[in-house]
Amino acid sequence: MRANPSVDELVSRARDGDARAVARLISWVEDEAPQLREVMAALAPYAGHAQIVGITGSPGVGKSTSTNALVGELRKAGKRVGVLAVDPSSPFSGGALLGDRVRMQDHALDRDVYIRSMASRGHLGGLSWSTPQALRVLDAAGCDIVLVETVGVGQSEVEIAGQADTTLVLLAPGAGDGIQAAKAGILEIADIYVVNKADRDGADQLRRELRGMIALGERDADDWKPPIVKTVAHKGDGVDEVVAEIDRHFAWLAESGELEKRRTRRVRDEIETIAVTALRRRWDDVHARVELDDLAAAVVAGESDPYTAADTLLENL
């Protein structure tokens, strides 16, 4: 690849399965490169086909091992797979710690599997702000399915549900009871529950607790009923059933019209994020011209009021 390829050349190479081209495009996304707008415009005609599956859960439940096993099962079905593993940001470089890629080396030489670690860069939702654009790159590059594995650190992990067509919530016996998981706000976003490490004591009890919580939820007769699948990911046990449930859920999404609703909502949120980011930059420019401290001092002195001060700021946008 040339040192400075054009956007059209990169997009063309990515469409042909060139992993280096895909990597360059995602790097431009992460770095907010000047070419980013042109890239998104070039990718637009090719996106919208990949199935997006989110994978989340508390630390220690086996998300990376499960993702690795899912990739293997999906490849058996002949699907081209992309993986975005959103790692905690390195406190030194701001980059991804790459632990997930180390655990997924089984597929490192497979040309039809693309694995990318992205730094969350402190973003509380467990996803990088650039995740939607990175997903679009993998989608347009011909991936049939993209797995998005989140950091998994607590209450804010529900953001994955906004990015995925299907959300898997992983739990494991001994990693905290079902009530604690419910308090964390994770359970309510699940389309499919996966009880991993099901060969351990307590797996059946955890499954019963989940069934009880699902029964308490208010659902219409034609709503999706989240299934509970038991797996032992490091052995591959139950992974084929998870893939079958993912396919069943995707079929329900398409038939019920929920797929279009979810994807429209997802893109709406992406547009809003881009617009708010642009507005924040203009806001920072205004601060260079209008001293906020001066406006605040005027309010404190009784020479102005907060609404008038805010209007002054907005007039300068």
Q: What is the rounded average pLDDT of the residues 313-317?
A: 76
Closest CA to 200 of 233, 227, 169, 226: 233
What pLDDT was estimated at residue 37? 92
287 in the same domain as 181: no
What confidence tier does 227 reach under pLDDT thresholds 50, 70, 90? very high
Judge contact between 14 and 137, C-beta under 8 A. Answer: yes
- Domain range for 35 is 1-44
- The stretch 39-52 carries a mean pLDDT of 93
As a whole number of angstroms, the distance between CA 32 and CA 187 comes to 33
pLDDT attached to residue 105: 63
Question: Is residue 60 domain-shared with residue 40, that is, in the same domain?
Answer: no
Nearest Cα residue to 73 out of 194, 203, 226, 254? 194
Q: List Cβ neighbours of 158 (8 Å cut-off, separation of 6 or more).
A: 125, 185, 186, 188, 189
**pLDDT greater than 50 at residue 125:** no
CA distance 136 to 25: 10
The pLDDT of residue 178:
52
User: Residues 175, 245: one domain?
Assistant: yes
Residue 177 and residue 272 in one domain: no
Mean pLDDT of all residues belonging to the chain? 83
Task: Give the CATH number, domain containing residue 67.
Answer: 3.40.50.300
171 & 104 share domain: yes
Residue 261 within any structural domain of the chain: no
In a domain, 262, yes or no: no
Residue 120 is given by DSSP the state -
Q: Between residues 274 and 166, which one has the greater pLDDT? A: 166
- Do residues 146 and 216 share a domain? yes
Structure confidence at residue 60 (pLDDT): 83
Supply 110's token pair.
């497979």
Q: Give the count of domains, the chain.
A: 3
250 in the same domain as 304: no
pTM: 0.84
